[in-house]
């Protein structure tokens, strides 16, 4: 089974890139973030025609997450069930075969010290609590998405420039570490221990085109049983190139059945 996470930065705008990618790769489970549309406007039919079942948690203009699966979707849940956080469509989970999948689009936070930054830290702790309460680490669990946080300086093209800035600050990384303490592992880092592998490049600075000036903020975190089944994780850089791409590339993990 291949599981991908991809912030598409508007699923309708990105459909001319998404559909060929789904058809060419045949990836069985695809977790999308920043779909930017209500559920009724999600381009369901075109994706279903490729053999996918779809679960969406949408919102007008902003946010939005979805899970596409060729292996069915069971026990679909939206959000955390916590009033403070469920006004924004940022989390969806489902069971696919024997894998519990949580797909998240973490709050950006704007800048360190902003009220949205504080909200981001609280949101991540709500994710931690949701995982602790309902996602046993002795099962196959994959928590994936756009986390809007780097693990360390290996995830940054220019650590000095980004030092203690948003996406790279110590408090954000500490809360991400609290997730890992549940028993999760950073799957990509297992296969790329030296770092320098990025998933997001800023449109404004043409970071992809001008020398791979990126960050790694999209992650696939796995429980021990899922990690044991994982045989590789790669970033599909080709999906970031070409006409009208998202500013993120898909990250794809392969799990043995």
Split at pLDDT 50, 70, 90, the class of 95 is very high
Integer Cα distance of 176 and 245 in angstroms: 28
Report the number of distinct structural domains present in the chain.
1
What is the DSSP track for 170-183?
A: HHHHHHHHHHHTTT
Would you call 165 helix, strand, or coil by DSSP? coil
Pairing, β 99-105 against β 214-215? unpaired
> Stretch 162-172: mean pLDDT, rounded?
99
Tell me which of 52, 117, 146, 247 is the catalytic residue.
146
User: Would you state the structure tokens that stand for residue 8, as one six-digit string?
Assistant: 């598409």
pTM: 0.98
Tell me which of 105, 117, 155, 247 is the catalytic residue.
105
Residue 9: per-residue pLDDT:
98
Residue 107: per-residue pLDDT:
98
Number of C-beta neighbours around residue 164 at 10 A: 10
Q: In CATH, what number is assigned to the domain containing residue 103?
A: 3.60.10.10
Mean pLDDT, the chain, integer:
98
> Stretch 74-102: mean pLDDT, rounded?
97
- pLDDT single digits (tens) 134-151: 999 999 999 999 999 999
| Contact between 238 and 6 (Cβ < 8 Å) | no
Q: Is 15 left (phi over 0), alpha (psi -120 to 50) or beta?
A: alpha
Is 97 labeled as catalytic in the residue annotation?
no
Is 52 labeled as catalytic in the residue annotation?
no
Residue 62: per-residue pLDDT:
96
**Domain interval for residue 112:** 2-255
């Amino acid at each position: 089974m291949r599981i991908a996470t991809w912030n598409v930065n508007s699923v309708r705008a990105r459909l001319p890139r998404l559909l060929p990618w789904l058809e060419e790769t045949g990836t069985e489970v695809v977790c999308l973030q920043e779909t930017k549309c209500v559920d009724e406007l999600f381009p369901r039919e075109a994706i279903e025609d490729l053999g996918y079942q779809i679960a969406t948690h949408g919102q007008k203009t902003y946010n939005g997450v979805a899970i596409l699966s060729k292996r069915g979707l069971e026990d679909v849940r939206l959000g955390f069930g916590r009033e403070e956080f469920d006004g924004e469509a940022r989390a969806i989970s489902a069971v696919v075969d024997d894998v519990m999948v949580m797909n998240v689009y973490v709050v950006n936070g704007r800048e360190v010290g902003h009220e949205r930054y504080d909200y981001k830290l609280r949101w991540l702790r709500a994710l931690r609590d949701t995982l602790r309460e309902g996602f046993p680490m002795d099962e196959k669990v994959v928590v994936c998405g756009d986390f809007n946080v780097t693990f360390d300086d290996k995830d940054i093209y220019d650590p000095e420039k980004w030092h203690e800035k948003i996406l790279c600050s110590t408090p954000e990384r500490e809360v991400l570490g609290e997730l890992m303490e549940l028993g999760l592992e950073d799957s990509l880092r297992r296969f790329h221990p030296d770092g320098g592998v990025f998933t997001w490049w800023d449109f404004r600075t043409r970071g992809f085109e001008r020398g791979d000036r990126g960050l790694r903020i999209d992650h696939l975190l796995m429980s021990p049983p899922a990690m044991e089944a994982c045989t590789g994780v790669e970033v599909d850089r080709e999906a970031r190139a070409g006409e009208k791409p998202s500013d993120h590339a898909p990250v794809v993990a392969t799990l043995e059945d």
